[in-house]
Amino acid sequence: MKRRNFIRVAGGGLVVAAGGAFAAPNLDPMPEEAVTGWKGPPPGEQDPRRRAITWAMLAPNPHNMQPWLVDLRQPGEITLHVDRTRLLPQTDPFGRQVMIGQGTFLELLVLALAAEGYRAEVAMFPEGESPANLIDDHPVARVSLIRDPAARPDPLFRQIPRRRSTKTEYAARPVKAEHLAALMVSHRTTSNLLLAFATGKEQLDALRTIATQGSEMEMQTPRTHKESIDRLRIGASEIRAHRDGISLSGPMIWALRQLGTLTPEKALTPGTTAWESGRDYVMKGYASAVAFGWIASPGNARAAQVAAGRAYVRLNLKATELGVAMHPHSQTLQEFPEMAQLHRAIHDATGVPEGHTLQMFFRLGYAPVPGPTPRRPPQSIVVS
């Protein structure tokens, strides 16, 4: 069996492609309780705020660290804070991605509250923005619930449990022009951030090369690669214990663990099967990219980062509705010093105007829908 048949890594995280040699489907499956949130709020849950939080936790977020705290002590309000124990200091030194992940959460919260019959009034940074270079405990947003008989669920709400970050190889066929057009129209109804797509061979090749180099750079820089490996959850028992991070489960992972081929130490070490096949997988993902897209903001204020998160998750939901897969690439958007040259290069190659910051960069295409990723129990993020 070739090594690429048994373990694959995507953008700092690993996912599994089980080869035919191992057909035992019940070894080390994804623990049911880790993905129960994808079924929606538990049937007995009556509190609209807690019901909405269950949906909001399904938001895409960096390394699936779920860096959210919600304060419910004030009736009729939800105050959102960053959970500062769940940051990514090496790859996200200014907390930019963490802030995008606040935006994705906030948008799903607002969609879910509308589905509960509430208009959500969102006050951004009610006690001031956290400074650019640090995440403090100022609230990100205070959301007031206003009963509104006219509130109607946004059609995108229905896509929340079906949405995924699809990290596998994509089909070779191009993304349909009508799908890109529908994504653009949907984006423009709620966001004035720059959204653009690349589908032409020349630009795709240039972006692919830069993205590939960025992933390589992150993997070759020990402290940034370690940050990802520290957040790997290998096998059902680790997944059950954490319900966050990048999770690896299934018969192939079980087998590799038994063989001692897949350990955090090996995944950290260039030259091992775990490390090399990880890199092979990233490269295959980029090689299969038939379209890239990006969201950029003028400047890089905290509010713009949150707005980018809100826009990104709406795009991901719309893509889900259309059957289009999306996969973020963050490496070359990251602000650690070794990445500076590639950070400049991707800004140049996308052609974003001077002074704009690329907030999200992703590939788009068609691929089988993967299973859901774990989420922690909603009560673990609630301050009450």
Ligand X SMILES: Cc1cc2nc3c(=O)[nH]c(=O)nc-3n(C[C@H](O)[C@H](O)[C@H](O)COP(=O)(O)O)c2cc1C
Looking at 13, 31, 95, 139, which residue binds ligand X (CB under 6 A)? 13
104 binds ligand X (CB under 6 A): yes
Interacting positions 164-203 with ligand X (CB under 6 A): 164-165, 167
Q: Which residues share a beta bridge with 122?
A: 143
Residue 182 burial class via C-beta count within 10 angstroms: exposed 0-12, middle 13-18, buried 19 and up = middle
Please identify, using beta-carbon distances, which residue of 117 and 377 lies nearer to ligand X.
377
**Smallest separation, CB 196 to ligand X (Å):** 18
The region of 6-14, 29-37, 74-82, 120-128 touching ligand X under the rule CB under 6 A is 6-14
Is beta strand 77-82 parallel, antiparallel or unpaired with respect to 325-328? unpaired
* Residue that has been written with the tokens 């048949």 in this structure: 5
Considering beta carbons, is residue 79 or 373 the nearer one to ligand X?
Answer: 373
Does position 101 interact with ligand X (CB under 6 A)? The reply is yes
Is residue 97 near ligand X by the rule CB under 6 A? yes
Smallest gap from Cβ 362 to ligand X, in A, equals 8
Structure tokens at 78: 């939800």
C-beta separation of 345 from 358 below 8 A: no
Provide the token pair at 144: 């007031």
> How many residues make contact with ligand X (CB under 6 A)?
21
Helix (H) or strand (E) holding 382: strand 382-383
Using alpha carbons, select from 261, 266, 237 the residue that is nearest to residue 249: 237
- Of 350, 86, 62, 316, the C-alpha closest to 206 is 350
Q: How far apart are the first and last CA of the chain?
A: 52
Give the nearer residue to ligand X in terms of CB position, either 49 or 329.
329
C-beta closer to ligand X: residue 14 or 113:
14
Paired tokens of 357: 């910051």
Q: How far is the CB of 164 from ligand X (least distance, A)?
A: 4
Closer by beta carbon to ligand X, 31 or else 118: 31
Q: Given candidates 11, 31, 95, 365, which one binds ligand X under the rule CB under 6 A?
A: 11
Q: In this chain, which of 51, 142, 310, 329 binds ligand X, going by CB under 6 A?
A: 329
Residue closer to ligand X (CB basis): 12 or 378:
12
CB of 191 to ligand X, least distance (A): 15
Residue number, 12 or 41, with CB nearest to ligand X = 12
Name which of 183 and 255 has its Cβ closer to ligand X. Answer: 183
Answer yes or no: are the C-beta atoms of 374 and 35 closer than 8 Å: yes
Does 262 contact ligand X by CB under 6 A?
no
Residues from 47 through 76 that contact ligand X (CB under 6 A): 60-64
Contact positions vs ligand X (CB under 6 A): 10-13, 60-64, 97, 100-101, 104, 164-165, 167, 328-331, 373
